[in-house]
Amino acid sequence: MQLFTMKKINQLVLIILLACTSPLHADENVPPPFEASFEIVRNGMEVAEMHSSLSRLDNDDYIYRSETNSTGLVSIFYKLHVVEESHWYLHEQQIKPLSYSYDRIKKKKEKHKKTVFDWENMQAHYVGDGTKSSFVLEAGMTDKLLYQINLMHDLKTGHPPTSYTVVDGAKIKTYKLKYHGEESIDTPIGKFNTMKFSRLKSGKKDRITLWCAKDLHYLPIKVESIDDDDGSITIATINQLSGLGLSDETGLSDETYLSIKGLE
């Protein structure tokens, strides 16, 4: 069994982040806070689990946190721990990032990245990979976790998105989305009617497909990535969920999938 071939992949699993609001301050199209868990399977074998949470702070800012750990047989040979966090706020019904951080421990190696968004001076400041850089911000830019919240928000308003401008470290990328209609999806927490989207990366054939559940504020409950390099398939499926205004319990990010991709 080949273990952990870390190939580039930049994508995937867009998942889980929504926001919390109050009647006085918030956009009614931003969903309530939640906690969710996902099982991540690669080529039919469980390789990791992801836990995510969305909370609202006392000052009306928001925090989305995602934590991923290797599991199963893979965890015996390959220890992986990834934490991502997006700090953001609502301004005139616009979702705006304040900071994005990424921390990874792979075996005994650590990696840390952070981007700070200074909207007053329209500058973003990035530190990571032994480098520092700054660049000009433009209206509508988001981070690698936060664009998922934009997706939920846009679907809630009835305006399916076609693209997002995403700050990825020291680079600016365009995530293009294509709508494929509705599809019913079975998960460990139930069966849901979803809107199906795909995302293609410029210059590559890698495809990311996600299914957003209508009854769960358009939360992506399943995300699939097909690697153009070797044809391998990575799938994240919700298996636990609390919050989102639900009375009962029911159920990744690009950087997270970049880290776990290649586990076999």
- Encode pLDDT of 15-56 as tens digits: 333 333 333 335 677 778 999 999 999 888 889 999 988 898
> 166 with 138: CB under 8 angstroms?
no
Give pTM, 2 decimals: 0.79
CA distance 187 to 47: 18
Question: Which whole-number Å values give the CA distances from 39 to 42, 187, 223, 236, in the listed order?
Answer: 10, 11, 11, 6
78: pLDDT strictly greater than 80: no
DSSP H or E stretch at residue 183: strand 171-187
Strand partners, 229: none
**CB of 263 within 8 A of CB of 4?**
yes
- The Cβ of residue 109 has, within 10 Å, a number of other Cβ atoms equal to 7
pLDDT-derived band at 10 (thresholds 50, 70, 90) equals: very low
| Contact call for residues 51 and 28 (beta carbons, < 8 A) | no
How far apart are alpha carbons 71 and 260 in whole angstroms? 11
Residues 6+ apart with CB under 8 A from 29: 153, 156, 157
- Nearest alpha carbon to residue 97 among 133, 157, 137, 39: 137
Q: Is the pLDDT assigned to residue 251 strictly greater than 90?
A: no
Indicate if the alpha-carbon torsion angle 246, 177, 262, 63 is positive or negative: negative
Average pLDDT for the chain: 81
Sorted by where each begins, the domain ranges of the chain are: 34-260
Are 7 and 227 in contact by the 8 Å Cβ rule? The answer is yes
Please tell me whether residue 121 adopts helix, strand or coil conformation. coil
Ordered DSSP codes for 239-261: EEEEETT-SS-----HHHHHHHT
Q: What's the CA angle centered on 59, arms 124 and 54, to 5 degrees?
A: 75
Q: Note whether 171 and 194 are within 8 A (CB).
A: no
**Residue 77: its pLDDT value, please?**
61
Whether CATH 2.50.20 fits 34-260? yes
Residue 246 has pLDDT above 80, yes or no: no
